[in-house]
Chains A and B, each alone.
Chain A
């Protein structure tokens, strides 16, 4: 009570935000979990929604697609992003110009990047046209019919959109590595390959962790790109949950959302724990 009187103004300033997050984020999440475990009418506990969920072939595909897009996508994004960040770290004329242009995808809404890549990867799109002109194909293959090639198109689209973010995070990490570490290594006769594996990568670890976690959260929740580019051909967990909601199967939708939540949570905890342990072992 004394605390309250002393910090009355502070409490008043903090309260709206706290209440909003409680009522509009925490409570809904708990409700979703609750909905997934009860019968819609009687509110009795049931596992029926989960049984339906795991018996649904579309859900299996959605689960596989989500994991595939995230894992393969993040690995590709890190490799390509790191390569570009290393290039941008070099000092040369026009560096600022490249940096600006590389930000372009960030200024394109995710939905729009889906539309655009639809023009490129559609049946008579520009990608097929390029292959045709290069003499690589006779008839245009359809890339968006589902299957692995569709997932790779989605991974590519996602990568295009988020590469600027990955590059910026890794570049910030690279630039925080002091030059004299490299100079000392050069004096000791380290080659550039050694420098990369022994200095750059270990010192970049915090940036990589951040990039992986930020990207993983967004990539597990991917929604617009699969929806726009492949629709029902390539379901992911988010679109599956949405379709169930549209059919008024709230329990099923809640169950899918809960599975997604658990996956994200487990991934983050697992990643941080493995990394923590690695750090301790190294020290």
Chain B
């Protein structure tokens, strides 16, 4: 008996060591990623890179985080709303503007700053007329930074957030109805929802991209949101059916007996109870959209999301910036994944996260 215990302990120790090794390898790439992003180039860009950080530097981070320091933040960029517009500068010079000439206006100096560098001073009247003929497209960063970090970051954030909201609006009511269906029908519906995820994205993206070119939805936030709903709707509907399934039907009936109509009962009774489940599903959708690459690649030509930008940096730019971009891309994903850990333990759900 004593010897058996001893042997068991030995086996456990070996298992423990093995597990430690496996875990080490699972975490190692993340360390390398961060390490490259804070290394002096000499430590990485050599025949024999070092494993440990000897000289930490933040210059790669600085170069991507501060690259917009020359442009004013929070400026509003305007475009002309008609095909052509003629302005007369204070010096009496005539100038034609087309919608391809974005500019910002400065009321204090009565100046028009074109994003390609030209500046024109106008009279107060001319400026007011120009303002009326302008449409705004609010951007927070100047043209130079479009190629840099913040525009893709902001776009990714917008797309992910809007996708999440739209997905909830579309999927939650449907999931509620599906959860009311008889068991057999319900499983068929859920299976066919998941069945749609079997189609290759490249097959779906091809006609979508050609159609979006016609509809001029390429590079727009709206177009990308519409595309990101494709993989996420079936997935969210499926999670939410599970959420609505566990809410007792009697509660709704009781509320209706008390005089509430169907919609009030839904809003006041069912929705609050489903809120935590909807929240978890929403986080998953947000993550998936934030990470999404294929649709973004098909539907972007100039203004990409953060994953697209990261890919561009890898193929054209330096490895260090790529590492820094990749790290920025990873931070929210890692944070949310750990927050959602207990929901992932069931395993099935985790299949939907990329």
Interface, chain A (partner B; CB < 8 A): 9-10, 12-14, 16-18, 20-21, 24-29, 31-32, 35, 84, 87-88, 90, 92, 98-113, 115-120, 124-126, 129, 132, 140, 160, 163-165, 168-173, 207, 210, 214, 217-218, 220-221, 223-224, 227-228, 231, 237-238, 241-242, 245, 250, 253-254, 256-258, 260-261, 264-265, 268
CA of A111 to CA of B307 in the docked complex: distance in angstroms?
A: 7
Residues from chain A with a CB closer than 8 A to the CB of B45 are: 124
Q: Give every chain B residue within 8 A of A104 (Cβ-Cβ).
A: 26-27, 30, 334
Least CB separation from A227: chain B residue: B311
30 A-B pairs in the complex with CB atoms less than 8 angstroms apart: A14-B178, A16-B173, A16-B174, A18-B174, A20-B170, A21-B193, A21-B233, A29-B199, A87-B15, A101-B26, A104-B26, A107-B333, A107-B338, A109-B291, A109-B333, A112-B33, A115-B33, A115-B314, A115-B323, A115-B326, A116-B32, A116-B326, A117-B29, A218-B354, A227-B311, A228-B314, A245-B298, A261-B199, A265-B198, A268-B198
Tell me which residues from 99 to 149 in chain B have a Cβ below 8 Å from any Cβ of chain A: none
Out of A98, A103, A119, A129, name the residue touching B33 (CB < 8 Å): A119
Contact A116 B29 (CB under 8 A): yes
Fill in one digit per residue for B198-232: 1 if any A CB lies within 8 Å of its CB, else 0: 11111111111110000000000000001101100
Out of A24, A108, A126, A257, name the residue touching B200 (CB < 8 Å): A257
Q: Please measure, in the bound complex, the distance between the C-alpha atom of A119 and the C-alpha atom of B200, giving whole angstroms.
A: 29
Separation in Å of the B262 CB from the closest CB of chain A? 6
B316-354 interface mask toward A, CB cutoff 8 Å, 1 = contact, 0 = none?
000100110011011001111110010011111011011
6 additional A-B pairs beyond A35-B206, A231-B315, beta carbons within 8 Å, are A111-B293, A169-B348, A221-B201, A228-B311, A237-B200, A241-B203
Task: Determine if A168 and B347 form an interchain contact, defined as CB atoms under 8 angstroms apart.
Answer: yes
Convert B156-193 into 0s and 1s, putting 1 for each residue whose CB lies closer than 8 angstroms to a CB of A: 00000000000000110110111010000000000001
- B206 near A100: Cβ-Cβ < 8 Å: no
Point out the residues of chain B lying under 8 angstroms from A224, CB to CB.
293-294
| A115 contacts B310, C-beta separation under 8 Å | yes
- The residue in chain B whose Cβ has the minimal distance to the Cβ of A163 is B26
Of B16, B46, B176, the most chain A CB neighbours within 10 A belong to: B16
Distance A162 CA – B35 CA, assembled complex (angstroms): 23
Interface SS, A side? helix
Q: Which of A227, A254, A257 has the most CB of B within 10 A?
A: A257
Q: Is the CB–CB distance between B199 and A106 below 8 Å?
A: no
CA distance A217 to B352 in the complex (A): 11
Q: In the complex, are the beta carbons of A101 and B176 less than 8 A apart?
A: no
Task: Report B-chain residues with C-beta under 8 Å of the C-beta of A84.
Answer: 19, 22
The residues of A that contact B333 with a CB separation of less than 8 Å are 107-109
Closest A-B pairs by Cβ, 7 of them: A257-B203, A13-B173, A107-B337, A107-B334, A17-B174, A168-B347, A31-B207
Question: Contact at A29–B354, with CB atoms within 8 Å?
Answer: no
Q: Decide if B5 is an interface residue (CB 8 Å cutoff).
A: no
A238 touches B350 (CB 8 A): no
Residues of A within 8 A of B180 (CB): 10
Q: Tell whether, in the assembled complex, residue A109 and residue B354 are in contact, meaning their CB atoms are under 8 Å apart.
A: yes
Q: Are A108 and B202 in contact (CB under 8 A)?
A: no
Instruction: Please pick, from B15, B46, B346, B354, the residue contacting A172 in the complex, using a CB distance under 8 A.
Output: B346
Stretch at the interface among B47-55, B70-78, B275-283: B47-55
- In the complex, A137→B30 CA distance in Å? 25
Query: Which of A100, A210, A257 contacts B341, CB < 8 Å?
Result: A100
The answer to whether A98 and B23 have CB atoms under 8 Å apart is: yes
A14 near B200 (CB under 8 angstroms)? no
* CA distance in complex: A195, B135 (Å): 73
Supposing A116-B326, A169-B348 touch, asked if A13 and B177 sit within 8 A by C-beta, the answer is: yes
Q: Are B330 and A109 in contact (CB under 8 A)?
A: yes
Q: In the complex, which residues of chain A have a beta carbon less than 8 angstroms from the beta carbon of B310? A: 111-112, 115
A112 / chain B contacts, CB cutoff of 8 Å: 33, 310, 326-327, 329-330
Q: Is B237 located at the chain interface by the 8 A CB criterion? A: yes
Chain B nearest CB from A221 CB (Å) reads 5
A116-B293 CB under 8 A given contacts A17-B174, A103-B341: no
Contact B48 A165 (CB under 8 A): no
Separation of A171 and B198 alpha carbons in the complex (Å): 24
Judging by beta carbons under 8 Å apart, are A110 and B293 in contact? Answer: yes
B344 contact set on A, CB distance < 8 A:
103, 106, 168
Are the C-beta atoms of A108 and B16 separated by less than 8 Å?
no
Contacts of A100 in B (CB 8 A): 338, 341
CB-CB < 8 A to A254: which residues of B?
203, 206
- How far is A25 from B174 in the complex, measured between Cα atoms in Å? 17
Set of chain B residues within 8 Å of A24, measured between Cβ atoms:
204, 208, 226-227, 229-230
Map CB proximity to A onto B2-22 as digits: 1 under 8 Å, 0 otherwise: 000000000010011011001
CA–CA, A245 and B174, complex, Å: 34
Beta-carbon nearest neighbor of A241 in chain B: B202
- The interface centre, meaning the residue of B27, B33, B209 with most chain A CB atoms within 10 A of its CB, is B33
- State A113–B51 Cα separation when bound (angstroms): 18
List, in ascending order, chain B residues with CB within 8 A of A87's CB.
15, 18-19, 22
